[in-house]
Chains A and B, each alone.
Chain A
Amino acid sequence: MKAAVLVFPGSNREGDVAQAIELVTGRRPQMVWHGDGDFEKVDLIVVPGGFSYGDYLRCGAMAAQSPVMAEVKKRAAQGVPVLGICNGFQIVTEAGLLPGTLMRNSHLKFVCADVHLRVETSQSLFTNRYQAGQVIKVPVAHAEGNYFADADTMKRLEDRGQIAFRYCGPDGSIVDGRGNPNGSSSNIAGVFNDTKTVLGLMPHPENAVEPMFGGTDGKALFEGMVEALS
């Protein structure tokens, strides 16, 4: 699997995700600068976390208009898989590759913690190594992770199985917003586009791939992509 990791001024998790990809593929992904309108053909494009453009205007708003994102939109339309993590999730929603948006956390605080996620489906190139309903533990670190979409969009996401991950309690329960760190609608932590070739999520699976980081539950996401895309 050949991967590209985008780098914007203010990105800060590009090294983490590059390392996670190298761990499962044995090869370093290509790092692509935001000003590059074209880059090598790859099997996967990753939009990493951080604070692109200092979160000016809205998180991800400026990055979404950068030359590299115009190319990413073109490739996504051709079916090239795109994974947006944290600020990357904000960027791909601002770019219109995913529905909805990420708002300020309802409690207004930055949250940095391990959270439990319920995998909603194993039927995707990103989640095929998990079981539907499986509970995993990965970290979050954000101030704007409060997923919001209008009622029609929420219904469509539910009906079409486009919800990838939900925040939950350790037992998988989401009753009364259990385990929800940011006020996100329906406890949503990650969503797919309608072809399930674009995934955006707030938590950081790339920071849960080696035991020394406190957990390895994120590793299966990368292994699943390798299996699907190699």
Chain B
Amino acid sequence: MKARVHVTLKNGVLDPQGKAIGHSLNRLGFPEVGDVRQGKFIELELAETDAAKARARVEEMCRKLLANTVIENYSIELVG
């Protein structure tokens, strides 16, 4: 089974990289782009067949290492 983890900045946390990306897109001829938030995508290969167990383990991984919960949120998607 695979887990796909998205790590994003919490609402209200300033995202200067997202802002810079937005400005660049506007300059490149994409005026429709408004607010941009960037984050991380992490794919994990898991030796686990039970979805509930896998989710609980990945939650723990997110809290311990993959996300800094002071400023980041995470979401988990299980595949396969």
* Binding between chains A and B: yes
Quick check: A148 and B70 within 8 Å, CB to CB? yes
Residue of B nearest to A61 (CB): B65
Quick check: B70 and A100 within 8 Å, CB to CB? yes
Instruction: Give the chain B neighbours of A65 by CB distance below 8 A.
Output: 64-65
Quick check: B71 and A148 within 8 Å, CB to CB? yes
Residue of A nearest to B64 (CB): A65
Among A101, A105, A106, A183, contact of B70 (Cβ-Cβ < 8 Å): A101
Quick check: A57 and B65 within 8 Å, CB to CB? yes
Residue of B nearest to A150 (CB): B70
Instruction: Give the chain A neighbours of B17 by CB distance below 8 A.
Output: 104, 108
Given A106-B16, A107-B16, A108-B20, A101 contacting B68 (CB threshold 8 A): yes
B14 at the interface (CB under 8 A from A): yes
CA distance A149 to B65 in the complex (A): 18
Question: For chain B, which range describes its interface: under 10, 10 to 19, 20 to 34, or 35 or more residues?
Answer: 10 to 19
Residue of B nearest to A105 (CB): B16
Tell me the total A-B contact number using a CB cutoff of 8 A: 32
Quick check: A106 and B68 within 8 Å, CB to CB? no
CA distance A107 to B68 in the complex (A): 21
Among A57, A105, A107, contact of B66 (Cβ-Cβ < 8 Å): A57
CA distance A104 to B21 in the complex (A): 14
Give A12-33 interface residues, CB cut-off 8 Å to B.
none
Q: Which label, helix, strand, loop or mixed, suits the secondary structure of the A interface?
A: loop
Instruction: Give the chain B neighbours of A73 by CB distance below 8 A.
Output: none
B13 at the interface (CB under 8 A from A): yes
Quick check: B16 and A149 within 8 Å, CB to CB? no
Instruction: Give the chain A neighbours of B20 by CB distance below 8 A.
Output: 108
Give per-residue flags for B1-38: 1 if the beta carbon is below 8 A from chain A beta carbons, else 0.
00000000000011011001000000000000000000
A94 at the interface (CB under 8 A from B): yes
Chain A nearest CB: distance from B73 CB in Å? 13
Chain A nearest CB: distance from B30 CB in Å? 20
Quick check: A58 and B68 within 8 Å, CB to CB? yes
CA distance A44 to B68 in the complex (A): 27
Instruction: Give the chain B neighbours of A58 by CB distance below 8 A.
Output: 68
CA distance A148 to B13 in the complex (A): 9
Quick check: B68 and A108 within 8 Å, CB to CB? no
Q: Contacts A103-B14, A108-B16, A148-B13 given; 4 further ones with Cβ under 8 A?
A: A57-B40, A61-B68, A101-B68, A148-B71
A-B contact pairs, 28 of them (CB 8 A): A57-B40, A57-B66, A58-B68, A61-B65, A65-B64, A65-B65, A94-B68, A100-B70, A101-B68, A101-B70, A101-B71, A103-B13, A103-B71, A104-B16, A104-B17, A105-B16, A106-B14, A106-B16, A107-B16, A108-B16, A108-B17, A148-B13, A148-B70, A148-B71, A149-B70, A150-B70, A183-B14, A183-B16
Q: Report A's interface with B, CB cutoff 8 A.
A: 57-58, 61, 65, 94, 100-101, 103-108, 148-150, 183
